[in-house]
Amino acid sequence: MEKKHILLLTTGGTIASLPGGEGLEPHRSDVMERQLSQLRSYFDITVEDLMCLDSSNIRPAEWQQIAQRVFETRLDYDGIVISHGTDTMAYTASAITWMLPGIDRPVVLTGSQLPLADVLSDGPDNLRTAFAMAASGYNGIYLAFDRKVMLGCRAVKVRASGFHAFESVNAHYAAQVSNLGLTIDKTALQPQMGFPQLMTNISDSVFLLKLTPGLDPRIFEMLSVMGYKGIVIEAFGLGGINVLNKGLRGIHRCVEDGISVVVTTQCLYDSSDLRVYQVGNKLLELGVIQGRDMTSEAAMTKLMWAIGQGMEQQEVARLFKTNLAGEISI
């Protein structure tokens, strides 16, 4: 059987790190070559070092660079694997989902909690899973970790050091590895978004705010003055917000100033629903947008992308009611 041709784009991260004078430092793909030599028995692999960064240093500009390279090279390969640091991998996976609508190749992000150079590294397993998914023929943006594959826009890092570091929140796994091999759940794959496009314009003027009891509502006025164009609020429970201390007034000012305000829940699982309680209905009356059961990473990057595409409040509201890539349950 002819080997599938897979492109590996490296970006740094723990998986490609070695000990340095001040702790682990990311290196180029040469530190991954021992593992790649084993994978070459099964796949025709081309490696490209795109960047060499700790993922805490990956910003929207790097998301654009990754998406651009995926789009430019995709037709030359059967699939693409992106090695990435775990700390912000879920943000990158969500961001490039919006930037690459209709992607016509499997694109799979992966990394590790221990460097490949460590004898106990989880990296080899994660790479094998990622390459298998990249060769599967099922198009979309995915994240592979701990023998599980999930939609990029549903992935959340839930453990700082454990190997089961990522979870598919409010969605089934797209695939899992067992003694049966890579088992695909076709009902959990990314829905197709039309023909392939590259849409990398994105705004970094979006603020993610986690509510706490007693939060000073003047924070909303400050965000408006600072020129933010979007705010994602992680509210309590189903979408609760303190309305007794001028909180609504601050949010109302933001909406009046043209800022798109999305409310989601601090709870990892289930959905916000502003229609249940009085405080939530007051928010809806102000023109606040429901985040539903989206992850914070997906809501944040989707809002950044929407504003970057030039969408106004009403267009953003319509977009957040639209399931583009499996990010919300409707």
Q: Do 105 and 250 reside in the same domain of the chain?
A: no
Tell me the CB-side half-sphere exposure of residue 105, using CA atoms within 13 A.
Answer: 25
The reply to whether 126 falls in a domain is yes
> What percent of the chain has a predicted confidence (pLDDT) above 70?
98
Contact 40, 115 (CB under 8 A): no
Q: Do 106 and 221 reside in the same domain of the chain?
A: no
Q: Do 84 and 174 reside in the same domain of the chain?
A: yes
- The range of the structural domain enclosing residue 255 comes to 206-319
DSSP secondary structure, 100-169, as one string: STT--SEEEEE--SS-TTSTT-SHHHHHHHHHHHHTS---EEEEEETTEEEEGGGEEE--SSSS--EEET
Cα–Cα nearest to 8, from 131, 114, 135, 182: 131
Question: Residue 224: how many CB atoms within 10 A of its CB?
Answer: 19
| Confidence (pLDDT) at 278 | 78
| Confidence (pLDDT) at 192 | 83
Q: Do 231 and 83 reside in the same domain of the chain?
A: no
Domain limit, last residue, from 158, 188, 218: 188
Which band of pLDDT confidence, cut at 50, 70 and 90, is reported for residue 244?
Answer: low
User: What is the Cα–Cα distance from 197 to 71, expressed in whole angstroms?
Assistant: 8
Task: For residue 282, give the CATH number of its domain.
Answer: 3.40.50.40
The reply to whether 329 falls in a domain is no
pLDDT digits (tens, 9 = 90+) for 263-319: 999 999 999 988 888 788 888 888 999 999 999 999 999 999 999 999 999 999 999
Q: Do 183 and 233 reside in the same domain of the chain?
A: no
Q: Do 163 and 215 reside in the same domain of the chain?
A: no
User: What is the Cα–Cα distance from 320 to 253, expressed in whole angstroms?
Assistant: 21
The domain tally of the chain equals 2
Q: Do 292 and 244 reside in the same domain of the chain?
A: yes
Q: Do 174 and 246 reside in the same domain of the chain?
A: no
Helix residue ranges per DSSP H, the chain? 33-39, 60-73, 89-99, 123-134, 218-225, 247-256, 278-286, 296-308, 313-319
Tell me the CB-side half-sphere exposure of residue 265, using CA atoms within 13 A.
Answer: 17
Q: Do 134 and 162 reside in the same domain of the chain?
A: yes
| Confidence (pLDDT) at 274 | 85
Q: Do 184 and 228 reside in the same domain of the chain?
A: no
Q: Which residue among the candidates 10, 14, 264, 265 is catalytic per the annotation?
A: 14
Domain limit, last residue, from 188, 214, 237: 188
Task: For residue 26, give the CATH number of its domain.
Answer: 3.40.50.1170
The reply to whether 196 falls in a domain is no
Domain limit, last residue, from 134, 156, 188: 188
pLDDT digits (tens, 9 = 90+) for 89-142: 999 999 999 999 999 999 999 999 999 989 999 999 999 999 999 999 999 999
Which band of pLDDT confidence, cut at 50, 70 and 90, is reported for residue 325?
Answer: very high
The reply to whether 324 falls in a domain is no
The reply to whether 66 falls in a domain is yes
The reply to whether 10 falls in a domain is yes
Q: Do 234 and 312 reside in the same domain of the chain?
A: yes
Contact 245, 239 (CB under 8 A): no
* pLDDT exceeds cutoff 70 at 237: yes
Catalytic site includes residue 14 = yes
Q: Do 15 and 131 reside in the same domain of the chain?
A: yes
The reply to whether 21 falls in a domain is yes
The reply to whether 57 falls in a domain is yes
Query: Once rounded to an integer, what is the mean pLDDT over residues 170-199?
Result: 95
